[in-house]
Structure 1
Amino acid sequence: MPLFDIETHWIMPDLTSALRAVRHPDESLIFNETGDNQHRLEDLGDGRTAAMDAQGIDVSILALTPPGTQPLPPKEALPLSRAANDMAAAAVARYPDRFRSLATLPMSSPKDTAGELERAAGTGHVGAMVYGRSGDLFLDDLAYDDFFSVASQLGQPVFIHPQLPSAAIRDASYRGFDPMTDLALATYGWGWHMDAATAALRLILRGTFDRHPELQIVLGHWGEMLLFWLDRADSLSRTAGLQRSVTDCIRSNFHFTASGMLNPALLRHALSVTSVDRLIFSTDYPFQRPSGGDIDSFLAHFTSDAERQQFTSANAASLYGIDL
């Protein structure tokens, strides 16, 4: 039974340098761009495939680590997005049986996003990874509607990854402790999951899926809390005058990954509010590195081989066009 991992991160040194010049210095602490993680993030070769072998993973989908190029001004975001996409495509070409890749897009320049998605798709990228906000521009802004239209037409799924909340939100909700606790609360401990869920919910409320009913969105971390709040979120559909409920969009336009959170209780809840064909395995490598034994133990919680295969490979293969 093949095992596909649809969210494995990497970094590009030129982009890292550009980001350090514009973003708050504590952001670099989130992704541990030193020590083992930096080495693992930079490795698009034999070291990465060896780690995959140890976990029993057959195919990994590469995705540039957050925040991509989104904090950069357009004049930098576009060329660095192109460079990142070319670098990832070259890695896939070297390891065609082991890697696929998600495109990095210049979201700070909405007029360039659709064109770069088309170019990246033409070089073999199987989707894109984006974030919920570029500066003050939300992902649901109609400035991005051409991008979503092209993604839908090309069958390119869009993965919405968490990002550091804005400075205003951090000041309002995530300060008052020591700096590292502030940062953890704003990121992996709570804040960035809420941020990603809000970005997804805003897309629904903006009528994105009424305009683009074939568009497919991917959320990590078992839906970034959104799957646990559908009873309340559905009330927003009526207020916003949508053609479809939030739950209907979730069940037809969204896919959800584990992101290394191999907790059977989370699996059971996800299956209770959506269906197994919407769930996909991922590790969030190298930030999460479950062992092969951890993975096997978790997969034993599926009730049938057919459902297990959907989660481990078939759903990803169908969504991203990967030959089994």
Structure 2
Amino acid sequence: MVRAESSNGKKGTGLLGVGRIDVHQHLLPPEFLAALERHGLKTQWAPVTWSAEGALAMMDEQDIATGILSLSAPGPHFGNDIEANSLSRQINERQAALVQKWPDRFGMFACVPLPNVGGALEEIAYAYDVLSTDGVILLANTNGIYLGDPAFDPIMEELNRRHAVVLVHPNALAGPPAKGVRPSAVDFLLDTTRAALSLVFNDVPRRFPNIRMILSHAGGFIPYAAYRISQQSNVADPVDMLHQLSNFYFDTALSASPTVLPSLLPFAKPGHVLFGSDSPYATNKTIGYFADHLDAYPGLDLAGHAGVNRKNAEVLFPRLAIG
């Protein structure tokens, strides 16, 4: 795909030279880092550094016009509801301040203190009514309980009422990782797959149709294994199950490869694939590696590339639309 010059002199991959919208970009705010440190988890969950200025520099380098920020795993809850409620509020207010300062460059997915359902409902209300959040991030599982569990129905009801955009992000699996295998390399993909199946098996997409859910990392194993799953699951209608799975949105974070794209793009509903970087956990070099594979992919025409890079996300986030 030919990269056009944008109005600020940077290279842009989107339609008319306008850069990408990145729906999978994380922040590591000081409140979160301090909480990880208190709980002895900083080395495990925060092996990289982050700053707003560094994020903007990365975005300029990678042709990203806007990054929708979110808090990655393990989220804001470390076992104490009061701490989790306070931490969620601090992080969301910090995100909102960044969006206010750079409204064209940043958006936000508000974090919520699950498994505290009451606290999560309060934070959703504050995030939408006070902070004007662009959406909400939910971890695929919390203490081994997946998103489709009826315990989370009140959350889904509220998100449905608000026509929310939700980023479903993987978390650590309940069991121990395989020796020598980083959880983010394989377990995260399984966690997202489990969450998607939990949602479908519990009829969440049909019961709460106004929620637009984005599955991280191309949906884990869903596009590749969906037909196998539909035939080996106890469902009355495998075709309907495939329809529900393909109706999720999927981001390309760490996933826009020559082997994933031929599976993802035919499986996902048209318009349901979105650009994602996974910065700062993915380095600039890694982000560029996958972005270059996406831009070189011959299975998309010019409009298809513009859709994945920007236009599909504009439908979910109309404040970022350029017309």
Which range, TM-score by smaller chain?
0.7 to 0.9
Query: C-alpha root-mean-square deviation of aligned residues, in Å?
Result: 2.3
Aligned mate of 1:317, from 314, 318, 322: 314
8 A Cα contact 1:105 1:130, kept in partner: yes
Separation (CA, whole Å) in 2 of partners of 1:113 and 1:236:
35
Separation (CA, whole Å) in 2 of partners of 1:13 and 1:143:
31
1:275 aligns with 2:269: yes
Shift of 1:91: 0.4
Separation (CA, whole Å) in 2 of partners of 1:20 and 1:292:
31
- Could you state the TM-score of these two structures normalised by the residue count of structure 1? 0.85
Q: Secondary structure at the match of 1:195?
A: helix
The residue identity in structure 1 corresponding to 2:217 is: H
Q: Deviations over 1:106-155 (max 9, x none)?
A: 11211222231122123121111111222254322222112112212212
Q: Secondary structure at the match of 1:283?
A: coil
Q: Which moved more, 1:207-216 or 1:52-61?
A: 207-216
Q: Deviations over 1:141-192 (max 9, x none)?
A: 22211211221221212111111112xx21xxx35x4xxx15x1xx122122
Q: Deviations over 1:84-121 (max 9, x none)?
A: 11000000000011110110001121122223112212
Q: Secondary structure at the match of 2:271?
A: helix
The residue identity in structure 1 corresponding to 2:265 is: L
1:304 corresponds to: 301
1:17 corresponds to: 34
2:69 corresponds to: 62
Q: Deviations over 1:7-46 (max 9, x none)?
A: 1111122222223444xx4x5444443xxx21xx2x12x3
More helix by share: 1
Gaps of at least 5 residues in structure 2 are: 1-13
- Aligned residues: percent identity? 23
Aligned mate of 1:195, from 187, 191, 195: 191
Q: Secondary structure at the match of 1:264?
A: coil
Separation (CA, whole Å) in 2 of partners of 1:260 and 1:198:
19
Gaps of at least 5 residues in structure 1 are: none
Q: Which moved more, 1:287-296 or 1:215-224?
A: 287-296
The residue identity in structure 1 corresponding to 2:313 is: A
CA 1:231–1:17: 2 relative to 1, 3 Å: same
Separation (CA, whole Å) in 2 of partners of 1:243 and 1:215:
22
The residue identity in structure 1 corresponding to 2:262 is: R
How do residues 1-324 of structure 1 correspond to structure 2 at under 5 angstroms?
A: 1=14, 2=18, 3-22=20-39, 25=40, 28-33=42-47, 37-38=48-49, 41=50, 43-44=51-52, 46-122=53-129, 123-166=131-174, 169-170=175-176, 174-175=177-178, 177=179, 181=180, 184=182, 187-235=183-231, 239-240=234-235, 245-252=240-247, 254-288=248-282, 289=284, 290=286, 295-301=291-297, 302-321=299-318, 322-324=320-322
- Could you state the TM-score of these two structures normalised by the residue count of structure 2? 0.85
8 A Cα contact 1:257 1:282, kept in partner: yes
8 A Cα contact 1:219 1:255, kept in partner: yes
Q: Deviations over 1:43-99 (max 9, x none)?
A: 12x332122111111111111132111333211111111111100000000001111
